[in-house]
Structure 1
Amino acid sequence: MKKLWQMIKGCPLFTILILSGIIVTAGGYAGAALGIYKWDVTFKHPMVQTVLLDEKAESGSESDASEVSTAKGDLDKNEQHKDVDNSTEAVKNGKPLEKTEEQTDGKSEDKSDAKTTEKSSEKNTEKSTEKGSGKTTEKTTKKSTEKKTEATTEKKASIDTGGSSTPISRPTQYKKIKTRKSRNNCYGDLTKIALETDYPYIKVDKSYFDDALFIGDSRIEGLALYSGLDNAQFAYMEGLTTFGLMSEKIAANGTATLTDLLGSQTFKKIYIMLGINEAGYNTDSYVSSYMDAVSQIQALQPDAVIFMMGCMHVSSDYSDTHDIVNNDNIDEKNGAIAAYADGIKLFYLDMNTVVDDGKGGLIKDYTWDDIHLQAQYYSVWEDYLYSHGLKDDAFN
C-alpha cells in the first residue's frame, strides 16, 4: 500500500485518468442495465455517421460531399443513419438498385407502356410542330399534363380501399405552415403538415392488439422490447428501409421474411413505422417504394386495416444542426404517405403529437440519443395506441 501511495503521489495525472475511466465504464454498464443506454453503440451510430459526413463535406475529401448535393438527391452510402443496414444497397438516381420480385413484376409492364406512350407522344409533337402553328405546343402540353395526372390517379387507385361503394372515405387533411426552406435536395420546401386520419377513435385495451402486427426499424424494436404489447407480433430490423421491406428476414427473430409471415398468418391490424433510414432518399422515391410495399401487404392480407404511422421526429437540437436527418424532411415524407390514407383500409396515425416539445421535435428528456426513445417512455407511445382504436365495424 505504501508503494501504491507513493506511485499515486508521483503520477497524479495518470492516476486520475485511470480512475475516471473506471468510473465512466461503471456508469455506462449501470445505465445500460437500467435501460437508459443501449449496449451496442458503434460507429454506425447516426451521430457518429453525421459527424463523419460533415467532416467530409467541409474538407471536400473524396466524392461523398459532392454526392450529397446532386440534383436528384442521391444518397451516398456513408450518409446513412445508424439504422441503415449494410445489407441494404444505396439508391441510384433516387431509386433502389434492387427491388423484390413482387415489386418488379408489378411495375415492369407499366413502365414499358409509359415509355412507349411518351416516345410516341414526342414523335407526334415533332411532326405537328413542323407542319403547323404555335397552338400545337399548347395542345401537346395540355395532353402531357393530362397523361401525368391520369398516371398519378391510376397509381393511387391501385391501393385497395375496401372494394365497397358504401364506406365513407376520409381524405387526409393538412395544416398549412409558414414555408420552411429545404436544406438538402432529398426533400422540398415544407409548406404543410399532415394531420392524422379524422376518425371517431375509441379507447381500447390490450386484447385489441391480439391480432396486430407491428413492422419497422429499431424504433419498432424499442416498442417490442419496452412496451407492454407482448400479445402483438413484431417484425423489425435495425436499418430496415422500405426498399428491403418484403425480402429482408425481419420476422420470427430474423428467420423469416415479411412475405413469409403474411402468407402464413392472418392479421386484422398492421402498423408500419419507417422513414428515418430513408431520410437521405428523394421523397418521391421513398413514397413510391413505401406504397409498393403497402400494395403487396394488402394482397397478402386483404382484410387487414393498415395504419401508416408517421415517422417519429428527432429532437429539435438535432434537427437544427443536420441538413438531412431533420424534422422538416421527416414531415414532408410523412405528409406524402399520408396522402394515400382513406380512413377505410388505410389510416395515417401520428404519435408525434404525444412526444412533441412544442417546437416540432422530440422531447429532449424522452430520448437518449436525440433519435430513439428511452426505455421508460415507450409507454407514452403505447398509451397513444390505446387511445386510437377503431370500432368493430371498421374491420368488416
Structure 2
Amino acid sequence: MSKKIKERDERYEPKAKHLDAVICVAVLIMVVAVTTIALLWVNKNIIKNNEKDEVHLNETGHVSNESNYLETEESYKEPFVLDQEVAYKHAHFNNSWYNFSKYKAKCDKVDDSYFENVCFLGDSRTQGLLQFSGLPKWNGFFKVGTTAAAACYEREYTFGDGYYRNILETIEYADYDIFYVGYGTNDLGLGDADKFIQDLEVIIDKIKECHPGAIIYVENILPMGEAFSINHPTFSNENARIYNAKIYEMCNVYGDLIYLDIASTMRDDNGNARSAYISDGLHYNAEGYKVILNFIKGAVVEKKTM
C-alpha cells in the first residue's frame, strides 16, 4: 500500500468510527422509545381493566351511566346469554335501566294475561293506557290531575268496598307482586324535580314495605305535543327530560327498581310527542296507548335465580 493511500485511510478511519457510534446511539434511543410506549400502553390497559373490575364488583350492581352499565352486564352473564339479552334489551327496552345482578329480560313479549296480576299507579295518562289500549283485564289506581304528593293524601281510591283511601293506604291492600308507577306529568307544573323525587320515593318505599320483593317499574314522563310544550313552559319537553334524568338517577340509587323508558318510543326527531299518537297535546289517543302497551309488553324482566 502506498504511503498516500495509507495516510488517506488513517484520515477517514476516525470519521467512520464516529458514524458507527452515532448509529448505535440512534438505535438505542429508538429501542428505549418503543419500550416506553409499550409499557405505557400496558399500564393504561391495566388501569382500564382495574376500573372495569371496580364496576363489576360494585355490591349493588348499579351504575350511573349507560356505558358503565353495559360493562356491568358483562359481569353477570355467560357470553351467549349476555349477547342474547343485550341484543334484546337494545331492541326492545330503549334506554330503560335494570340491575343485571338482580333481573334478566324475558327476551319475549308477554300476552294480555300478564296484566291480570299487575297493578298500575298513576294519573290520567295511566288511566288512558288502561282504558283505551285494548287490555281486556287490568288493575290500577289513578286520578286525573294528581301528583305524587297529592296521591298520598287524596282519598280517591277504592276496591269497591265503599271505602276511599289515599294511595299509600291503597298499596297496603293491593295484593300484587308487580307494580308500574307512573307519576310526574302533573308534577312538572310544580317546577321542583327534587321535591317530585322525594314524593315519589314515599310511594316507592310504601310498596317495598308492604310488598317485599315486588318488582317495581318506574315509568318516565312521556313527551308533550310540540305546541303544548311551547305554550306551557313548565310542562315543556325540556323540563320532562330533566325530571326523567332524576327518575333514572333514583332507580340507580335504589338499585332494584326498573327505569322504564317509554318516552323514547313516543318522541319524534325533535323530541316532541309523535303527532299521530297525541290528542290534546298532553294526553295520547287510543293508537298512542296501544303503542305504549306494546312497548311495555316487550320490556319485561324477571328475577334472577341465585
Say whether the fold is shared (TM-score over 0.5). Answer: yes
| Equivalence for 1:171 | 63
| Equivalence for 2:146 | 240
Q: CA offsets, 1:170-211, max 9 Å, x none? A: 334269xxxxxxxxxxxxxxxxxx942056532222222222
Q: Structure 2: how far apart are the matches of 1:243 and 1:392?
A: 30
- Bigger drift between 287-296 and 330-339 goes to 287-296
Kept after mapping to 2: 8 A contact 1:234/1:251: no
Which of 235, 239, 259 is the matching residue for 1:348?
Answer: 259
AA at the equivalent of 1:206: D
1:29-44 residue pairs with structure 2 within 5 A? none
- Determine which structure has the larger helix proportion and give its number: 2
Count of aligned positions: 213
Kept after mapping to 2: 8 A contact 1:305/1:344: no
| Equivalence for 2:134 | 228
Matched, 1:288 2:198: yes
| Equivalence for 1:376 | 287
Q: CA offsets, 1:8-52, max 9 Å, x none? A: xxxxxxxxxxxxxxxxxxxxxxxxxxxxxxxxxxxxxxxxxxxxx
Q: CA offsets, 1:205-257, max 9 Å, x none? A: 22222221101111011112112334331100011111122332234378333
| Equivalence for 1:45 | none
- Bigger drift between 352-361 and 338-347 goes to 338-347
Q: Structure 1: how far apart are the matches of 2:202 and 2:284?
A: 29
| Equivalence for 1:308 | 218
Matched, 1:197 2:108: no
| Equivalence for 1:334 | 244
AA at the equivalent of 1:331: R
Q: Structure 2: how far apart are the matches of 1:372 and 1:312?
A: 9
Q: CA offsets, 1:60-114, max 9 Å, x none? A: xxxxxxxxxxxxxxxxxxxxxxxxxxxxxxxxxxxxxxxxxxxxxxxxxxxxxxx
- Bigger drift between 247-256 and 284-293 goes to 247-256
- Could you say what secondary structure the match of 1:241 adopts? coil
Q: Structure 1: how far apart are the matches of 2:282 and 2:167?
A: 25
| Equivalence for 1:207 | 113
**Identical aligned residues as a percent:** 22
Kept after mapping to 2: 8 A contact 1:355/1:362: yes
Kept after mapping to 1: 8 A contact 2:112/2:136: no
Q: Structure 2: how far apart are the matches of 1:356 and 1:321?
A: 18
Kept after mapping to 2: 8 A contact 1:171/1:197: no
State the 1:166 CA deviation.
10
Kept after mapping to 2: 8 A contact 1:170/1:197: no
| Equivalence for 1:264 | 173
Q: For structure 1, list consecutive stretches of 5 or more residues without a partner in the other structure.
A: 1-164, 176-193
State the 1:306 CA deviation.
1.0
C-alpha RMSD of the superposition: 2.7
Matched, 1:252 2:252: no
- Could you say what secondary structure the match of 2:276 adopts? helix
C-alpha change, 1:169 and 1:207, in structure 2 (3 Å) is farther
- Bigger drift between 245-254 and 207-216 goes to 245-254
C-alpha change, 1:378 and 1:167, in structure 2 (3 Å) is farther
C-alpha change, 1:351 and 1:294, in structure 2 (3 Å) is same
- Could you say what secondary structure the match of 2:217 adopts? strand
C-alpha change, 1:231 and 1:303, in structure 2 (3 Å) is farther
AA at the equivalent of 1:374: N
State the 1:347 CA deviation.
0.8
Which aligned segments of 4 or more residues in structure 1 are displaced greater than 4 angstroms?
Answer: 165-168
1:1-396 residue pairs with structure 2 within 5 A? 169-173=61-65, 195-198=95-98, 201=105, 202=107, 203-248=109-154, 249-252=156-159, 255-281=164-190, 282-342=192-252, 345-393=256-304
Please tell me whether Structure 1 or Structure 2 has the larger radius of gyration of its CA atoms.
2
- Return the TM-score normalized by structure 2: 0.62
